[in-house]
Amino acid sequence: MVATNYFKLKNIGTRLLLLLFLLYSIKGDDSLSLDLIDGRVCMTVEHSRSSRNSSSYFECVPLSDNENEQYRIKGKYLGIWTLKKCSKNFYFDEPQQKCIERRKVHRQPSMDENVECQASNANPIEGGECNWLTATLQSDPYSRNHFLQCSITNPGEYCGEWIRMPCAPGTIFEFTQQICVAEEVDNSNECGKNTGSPICPCSGSSGTCPGISICISSICCQQQQIDPSMQMFQNAPFFQQSLCIGTGAKPIGPCQLNSCPNNYECQDGIGCCPTVPFESTGNLVSISVKVCPGSSIVPIGTCTNGNGCPSGTVCNEKVNGCCPQLEDKKFTVIMLCPNGKPAVGPCNSNNLCSQGQSCFKGACCQLSTCPIGQQPQGFCNSGSCNNGGTCHQSTCCQSVEVIKLPICSNGQASTVPCTMSNQCGPGFECSNGGCCPVPFCPNGIQAISRCNGPCGTGLTCLEGLCCPLPKCPSGELANTMCTQNRDCGIGSDCVNNGCCPMPQCPSGNFASCRCGSQVGGKSCPLGQACINGGCCMLPLCPNGIQAVSLCTASFQCGIGMECVNSGCCALPTCSNGKAASERCQMGSCPPNKLCENGVCCDIPVCSTTGMIPAQFCGIGNSCPLNFYCERQGCCPEPLPLCPNGGRSTSRCDRGSDCPPGFGCTSLGGCCRLSVEPICPLRMNAICQCSANNGCPQGSTCNQGTCCTQVSATFNQVPGTSCQMSTQCNGFTNSNSRCLQNTCICTKGAISNGASCIQQPAIVVNQARNGCDQYGNPCKFVLSTTRRRPLFTPVGNVTDTPLWFNVIELRSCIDDPTITGVDFDPDSTCLPNEKCINGKCRTKLWPGEYGCNSDMECQARCPNTYCEQKTDKNVPQCLCKNGFLLYGRCVENCPSGFHSSDKYCMHNDEDHFWKDSKLQDNLRELLNKGNC
């Protein structure tokens, strides 16, 4: 087959260049053979490429911000291949990527004279060598969100290195287009498999596309580009469609109404091809070229009898040359409508299309817009129309009467006429000749359609409408519709107007209500736990209390808990009041633990010494003399409290056990006797020594009395008489002054027995509420040998007490308003005293003797008073409401006691001191409060 093509060429040299191009286009190496087309979409990272004219080159020019916004492209990663020209007397040097001035003396070196790169582009690997001059962008075998690019390593050299480049977020690399495209656009490919690939969405306002791409079904499509370096003998050099006459290039697409984009012309039977520039209209030259049958490819050499042809070609006797071995392949053809535009999609099973379209040969084609007053009725047939219509732009237009559309049930007028509901689209139905919205379901959601039979999966028929079933919190569809929980029955509740099954508890029962993130973080009622989105009842523990959580094994419950009846329950309490750590294993426990009633408890430690007891308590909490039972261990009895609030110096059974000047109290403690202080000659008595013989600074302890020299700074202690403020201890620091002939503490200072000093509020509170001169609290311990509770301080004796006892009676001013000075009346007295009727009186605990007024008793406990008539004929602090029980006021006498007048008496004292349980109950009751 011989095809004769006519070209307007300038001279014979041009013809030779054409023949060289045709021969070069079938060369099977790995050089860059992708035709760069002016207007094709590209990646902005691409290198500039030389064109066939050395004074021009292709550059990937980025899309403008307006274009990116118009085509909904996020990021500046796409551009358009644009043909640029160098200045006059300049040529484009591709290795250096710039235009260079032509040298008149030295001729321009050809490509063959340069030292070419010997690297192959056939196996692109990150970090491998490549020829960037001939390489194309390649797919990343590990990620569609990346691609490989042969990058320039040294300017002026052809050899480069494959580097891994990322696509813009949300895009993937499309090899056939050599660009990154949005994933949602790539997934909804409307361009067809063989005709093109999606680039981006079409412009929403004008329906245009970037470059030479065309808009198909709202998607900009561009003809696929195939890299022959990767498919050498599959697609290249023999293309299965005709090449453009005059350039040998592949057409960019079919002609649209015999029109093509700028710089392209329509060639019949081929498509849109690059326009061949003509610098002169003269010298018309005719060339006759033999081409292979079925294509426009020039044969390779000559052959006879099928011999001498390269691989992939066969000898064609018609042209006596080697032609490509063509295979029968199926192609997807773009269906062109009568108006020249591509079809928008296939017709449905009834050969119907959407509004404004008509079915033509099985494809939906867009009808042209008719003049005002006319409506399209279909396509013309050979330029004529039936039924009196007129042909307008391949569309039959016919004048129609204005149809008055009906008013829909929602009160709005219909805008689209119809004869059947399938002409109205989703959510609409044909009513009285007009498309109207389908009515709403009872739950306020628009119905899908009328119930003209089964509604289908996920729908239910309500009042003649197919309504979508709501989704349950678990994600599945509801069983039926509802408005309240009682519409659903047992095991379901009404959620989002749908009956949804309640979550099931591990016990097999349904949950009482929903909980968790599916219902806005709602929590469960007390005694229930949130399991699988439902509130399940917690089981009961052996002690009758509900478990704190569900479990299957004890290790899930944590320390101090165990799994009982599928619930985490607290272990039994140890005798020290703390929770056990775990169950005993065959009677043994971890180190520093003791097996007690089947559980592991801390080894008891004496609160008075902090040491492990010497021995365990006997029956009935019995211990040796001077020991008491604490947490099943015999601990040394602490030193009891003296009547004046000081610590006893030692234990005793009788007065002879104490040093001179000390007596043995009923609690077994050696306390200082209230006698006149004795100091050596030329020394003054200040106060009593502390239990550890401590004294204020500047004084020393002498036979229980803190004495100081006459020349010392100590003068009158707070509460004693004075004539001037300089006589009062603490005046030099402005902490005291002489008012009404009495040294009082002012400006927040308090008396420590020797002077007025400033103390932090927390220390003042500790000193006043403590039961000894060190500010320690007191507690009751039960001594079985003494057969009575001991009220004793808790804590060790420090080096210096917070205050010192003073023997002599001191005065105070209980009404500061008469002095004009603001101060606390109690600050002049010791912390264990209160200013009552101008005198410092000791604050007494319930049951203590020696009170003069109710205020002395109420200074410790408000619910006490001073009873003058007692069995000992000595006034005693008793309880107003209740009964006195070993120094505490109780409303009712505990087990083992009975009430007698104002006291709680033992039922059987001998039995009580043999019963450890009764003793423990009494100790717990006495230490429960302060009064």
DSSP string, 203-229: PTTT---STT-EEETTEEEE-----TT
Q: Where are the beta strands (DSSP E) in 417-496?
A: 428-431, 434-437, 449-450, 459-462, 465-468, 492-495
Mean pLDDT confidence for 868-896: 90
Would you place residue 152 in the very low, low, confident or very high pLDDT band (cuts 50, 70, 90)? confident
Please report which confidence band the pLDDT of residue 796 belongs to, taking 50, 70 and 90 as the band edges.
low
Q: Which of 915, 920, 847, 854 has its CA nearest to residue 886?
A: 847
Q: For residue 578, what pLDDT is reported?
A: 80
Concatenated DSSP letters of 328-347: ----PPPPBPTTSPBP-EE-
**pLDDT value of residue 380:** 84
Pick the closest to residue 226 from 255, 196, 246, 205 (CA basis): 196
Among 154-158, 476-480, 888-892, the minimum mean pLDDT is found in: 154-158
Least trusted range by pLDDT, from 101-115, 645-659, 842-856: 101-115
The candidate with the shortest Cα–Cα distance to 696, out of 707, 711, 709, is: 707
Residue 297 banded pLDDT, cuts 50, 70, 90: low
Tokens for 326, please give them.
Answer: 């063509």
Looking at residue 647, its pLDDT comes to 76
Over residues 588-618, the pLDDT tens digits come to 888 878 888 888 888 888 877 778 888 888 8
Which residue reads 């004075």 in tokens?
722
For 530, 778, 923, 924, the CA distances from 887, given in Å and listed in that order, are 50, 12, 12, 14
Contact 511, 540 (CB under 8 A): no
Percentage of residues of the chain with pLDDT beyond 90? 12
Q: What is the pTM of this model?
A: 0.42
Supply angle C-alpha 580, 584, 585, rounded to 5. Answer: 150
3-state SS, 273-332, equals EECCCCCCCCCCEEEEEECCCCCCCCCECCCECCECCCCCEEEECCCCEEEECCCCCCCC
**Which residue type, as a one-letter code, is found at position 927?**
N
The whole-number pLDDT of residue 262 equals 61
Torsion of CA 114, 120, 125, 130, to 10 degrees: 0
Q: What would the mean pLDDT of 413-420 be, rounded to a whole number?
A: 84
Average pLDDT over residues 416-440: 83
Task: Tell me how crowded residue 231 is: count the other CB atoms within 10 A of its CB.
Answer: 10
More confident residue, 241 or 373: 373
Of the ranges 229-243, 534-548, 562-576, 908-922, which is most confident? 908-922
| 278-292, 442-456, 503-517, 862-876: segment of lowest average pLDDT | 278-292
pLDDT, residue 20, reads 32
What is residue 109's predicted lDDT score, i.e. its pLDDT?
Answer: 47
For all residues of the chain together, what is the average pLDDT? 79
- Give the C-alpha separation, 813 to 838, whole Å: 5
- 507 vs 852: which has the higher pLDDT: 852
Amino acid at 918: L
Task: Count the neighbouring beta carbons within 10 Å of the beta carbon of residue 277.
Answer: 9
- pLDDT band with cut points at 50, 70 and 90 for residue 23: very low
SS3 of residue 737 by DSSP? strand
- pLDDT band of residue 16 (cuts 50, 70, 90) is very low
> Hunting for tokens 């500790």 — which residue is that?
766
pLDDT-derived band of residue 786, with 50, 70 and 90 as boundaries?
confident
Instruction: Supply the pLDDT for residue 8.
Output: 32
| Tokens 């018609």, residue located | 318
Phi, psi of 596 (to 5 degrees): -135, 115
Any alpha helices (H) in 26-152, and if so which ranges? 65-70
Distance CA 770, CA 260 (A): 104
The number of angstroms, rounded, from the C-alpha of 732 to the middle of its chain's C-alpha atoms is 64
pLDDT (0 to 100) of residue 320: 79
Question: Which residue bears the tokens 């409508």?
Answer: 337
- At 25, give phi and psi (nearest 5°): -70, -15
- 382 and 396 Cβ atoms separated by less than 8 Å: no
Peptide bond into 696 cis (omega under 30): no
Whether the Cβ atoms of residue 487 and residue 498 lie closer than 8 Å to each other? no
Place of tokens 């300038």: 10
pLDDT, average across residues 93-97: 84
Cα–Cα distance measured from residue 746 to residue 827, given in angstroms and rounded to the nearest whole number: 8
Number of Cβ within 10 Å of residue 81's Cβ equals 22
Tokens of residue 230, six digits: 């990767």
Name the residue among 565, 620, 590 with its Cα closest to residue 787: 620
Q: So what's the pLDDT on residue 30?
A: 38
Q: Which of 734, 775, 778, 789 is nearest to 757 (CA)?
A: 734
> Is the model's pLDDT at 9 over the cut of 50?
no
770-804 exposure pattern, b = at least 16 Cβ within 10 A, e = fewer: bbbbbbbebbbbbbbebebbbbbbbeebeeebbbb
Question: Nearest-CA neighbor of 271 among 255, 287, 247, 283?
Answer: 255
526-576: pLDDT as tens digits: 888 888 888 888 888 888 888 888 888 888 888 888 888 888 888 888 877
Q: How confident is the model at residue 104 (pLDDT cuts 50, 70, 90)?
A: very low
Bond preceding residue 237 cis, omega within 30 of 0: yes
Domain boundaries, the chain: 31-104+118-230, 279-333, 844-931
Buried b (16+ CB within 10 A) or exposed e, 497-513: bbbbbbbebeeeebbeb
Taking residues 426-455, what's their average pLDDT? 82
Confidence of residue 750 (pLDDT cuts 50, 70, 90): very high
Which residues are CB-contacts of 43 (< 8 A; sequence separation ≥ 6)? 60, 77, 78, 79, 137, 178, 179, 180
- Lowest mean pLDDT, pick from 233-247, 339-353, 536-550: 233-247
Quote the tokens at residue 352: 């119907």
3-state secondary structure of 12: helix
Amino acid at 480: T
Among 345-349, 359-363, 379-383, 580-584, name the most confident range. 580-584
The residue among 100 and 709 whose pLDDT is bigger is: 100
Q: Integer distance in angstroms from the first to the last C-alpha of the chain?
A: 125
Contact 315, 303 (CB under 8 A): yes
- Provide the pairing of β-strand 129-131 with 2-7: unpaired
DSSP 699: -
Identify the band that residue 827 occupies on the pLDDT scale cut at 50, 70 and 90: very high
Q: Can you tell me the mean pLDDT for 225-234?
A: 42
Alpha carbons 485 and 481: distance in angstroms, whole number: 11
Residues, the chain: 931
Alpha helices in 72-182 (DSSP H): none
Look at residue 711 and give its three-state secondary structure.
Answer: coil
Can you tell me the mean pLDDT for 203-227? 80
Distance CA 628, CA 644 (A): 24
When computed from its CA atoms, the radius of gyration of the chain, rounded to whole angstroms, is 54
With cut-offs at 50, 70 and 90, classify the pLDDT of residue 903: very high
User: Residue 33: which of 192, 263, 243, 264 has the closest Cα?
Assistant: 243
| Residue 25 reports pLDDT greater than 50 | no
**pLDDT value of position 876:** 92
**Which among 750, 727, 751, 747 is positioned nearest to 738, based on CA atoms?**
727
* More confidently predicted of 644 and 151: 151
